Amino acid sequence: MKRVSKFASLFLLIILAGCADDVPDPITELPDLLPRIESLNVNEGSEIVGNSIIIVTFNKPMSTAVIEVDGVAGVTTLKDNSAIFTPSTKMPTGHHTLKVIATDEFGRGLDGFTPIGFNVIGTGTVQPGCPVLVYSNVRDGDIVSDDVVFGVEFDVSMSSITMEIPGVDGYTDFNSMDTYASFFPYSNIPSGSHNLIIYGADKNGKECQYTISFRVGSQVTGKGKIAFSSNRDGDYDIYLMNMDGSGVVPIVTSFGNDSQPVWSTDGSIIAFVSDRDGLWDGDYDIFLMNPDGTEQINITNSPGISEYSPFWSWDDEKIGFYVVGDLRLYLLEHDGANPRLMNENEQNSFRFLGQSLDRSKAAYASNSTGNWEIFLNIVGGKFGINLTNNFMDDFYPFYAADSKRIVFVSNRSDFNNEIYIMNDNGTNIIRLTNNPADDNTPSCSPF
């Protein structure tokens, strides 16, 4: 019996070995069936209303699925290839993190999914399959200026979008089958609390309604000044204003174009560029001056060469800059001596434009989305966070002294460049300048 048993066992092994190529292992030989997420109605950086329903679609039916939103109670319903998260109560305004935990019939978890962050901006009536409001330039609880123009965007093409503010006359600018629309008040919005009500319907006739509560007023506080350039008097001159946009005074009014002011880190000197000494050939030089505009000195004075975008070293001993037609970085002593190329090891000793004074964050502008937006990198944290996410152009960010707010330039309201300020999470965007000319290149004092 032992011989038969050994022979039978050997025969069975031979059969299995010969058929091994015909019997796939579901774990190792079907990578295309590993569970993964195919679509989400909420993505990294999305802005949604507080009672939105989150829908996750998988590449196959799942055995288990749980959707979690930090600090929010809710119920996950699993049906075929989809899971739906329904909040038990309205999600609080602000930033949240979404996690998805799911397994397939073999007990395998999701392949390649990492938690994503999103923002809650208001309230609304949303059901599965209805159009979802994914962006609004004014968020629930924001404090805005009285001349704000409202912009919203949905996740699908819409057959109709209408917006209203009770007690405020205005009109909705919308083209059928677009995903976005704007609301233009006919006059300045009165101070106080208001509601923006958004009505929409998609091409299938599914309707939705959203309400975003906001307040008109000023909440720009803090000491300090903003230096900026403007062509409100013809050519570009340099002005100073308070952090709330008041007290505008000119400090540079030469016969030429003066722009790109930037404060030294101790606040004692402002560097700027001017073509006053190269007016006939269009050359720009770098100048220094006191914060009140006195003692203006040309420190480059290089005929035939244009320098631009000056920035200071952290110890204020050197100034970095660029040269037109040359992508390399240059530097010189703050008195103009020893101009030369900047080597890579020296770059950490400079405060680049957009870098916070506490050195923990850096804001920058990019047109990677199709128009200019302001993005944020956090040292040791997330990179490429879109702060503005607007249909129009937002650029030239500069951190305030508190390392919590950013001034920047945008053409979002009147299609000309104006200066705005916002928190560095993209909230509380407030317009600081308001005139038919262009206001550009803001820089905040460090005190």
Each residue's pLDDT tens digit, 276-328: 987 777 799 999 999 999 999 999 999 889 999 999 999 999 999 999 999 89
Q: Which residue has better confidence, 293 or 193?
A: 293
Could you give the residue range(s) of every CATH 2.120.10.30 domain in the chain? 225-444
> Averaging pLDDT over each range in 61-65, 85-89, 91-95, which range is the top one?
61-65
Burial class (CB in 10 A: 0-12, 13-18, 19+), 337: exposed
Q: Which residue has better confidence, 429 or 442?
A: 442
For residue 389, give Cα distances in angstroms to 172, 260, 369, 386, 399.
20, 25, 9, 6, 18
Residue with token string 């990294």? 44
Q: 17: Cβ–Cβ under 8 A, 6 or more apart, which residues?
A: none
Closest CA to 312 of 275, 264, 240, 358: 264
- What CATH number does the domain located at 133-216 have? 2.60.40.1220
Could you give the residue range(s) of every CATH 2.60.40.3710 domain in the chain? 31-124
Q: Are the CB atoms for 100 and 56 separated by under 8 Å?
A: yes
Each residue's pLDDT tens digit, 226-255: 999 999 988 999 999 999 899 999 999 988
CA distance 256 to 276: 5
- Residue count (the chain): 447
Check pLDDT > 80 for residue 337: yes
Check pLDDT > 50 for residue 30: no
Class of domain 31-124: mainly beta
End-to-end Cα distance, the chain: 95
Q: Between 3.40.50.300, 2.120.10.30, 2.60.40.10, 2.60.40.3950, what CATH number should domain 225-444 receive? A: 2.120.10.30
Query: For residue 351, what pLDDT is reported?
Result: 94
Query: Residue 209: pLDDT band by 50, 70, 90 thresholds?
Result: confident
Check pLDDT > 80 for residue 141: no
Could you give the residue range(s) of every CATH 2.60.40.1220 domain in the chain? 133-216
